[in-house]
Amino acid sequence: MDKEIVTEQHRWLQQLVGDWAYESTVAMGPGETDTTIGMDRVKALGEFWIIAEAEGEFPGDGPAKMVITLGYDPLRERFTGTFIHSQMSYLWHYDGELDGTRRILTLESSGPAMDGSETTARYRDVMEIVDESRRLFSSYALREDGKWHEFMSARYTRVA
């Protein structure tokens, strides 16, 4: 197998490597939110992948850990990855792309609906690079009316 070429998209992911403090706001119900804080440690796995390991509070459920893997598939010309959470049994699969500004990565997935039914729903996570020390992250669910509803947002600040 020939050595793979590191692409611009792979290099884009490497800017996430480091330690980040975050503060997130989660929708708990109509007009009700909860704010939590935590740490996100992002490591490179070679030049092609990153692994983000976060620890913090999960609103109403106590301490939680989350892991995101992200890479770029040059054959499909798409970002790819996974998300797991210590309080969920589902393995989320990401598929995404950068916008034209090269600052916003949109990752789509599908998984269990959050309404307690045994159906699946579509989700969208949006990561925005503000500058080398700040980034934003928002999670959305697709509603029946075809509109995306934001249910979580987080602000990250680089600490190392």
39-95 residue pLDDT tens: 999 999 999 999 999 999 776 677 999 999 999 999 999 999 999 999 899 999 999
Residue-wise pLDDT for 1-13, tens only, equals 567 899 999 999 9
Residue-wise pLDDT for 119-157, tens only, equals 999 999 999 999 999 999 999 999 989 999 999 999 999
Side chain identity at 111, as an amino acid letter? Answer: G
User: What share of the chain has pLDDT > 70, as a percent?
Assistant: 98
Model confidence band, residue 109 (pLDDT cutoffs 50, 70, 90): very high
Contacts 24+ apart (CB under 8 A), 131-135: 132/15, 132/158, 133/157, 133/158, 134/158, 135/16, 135/20
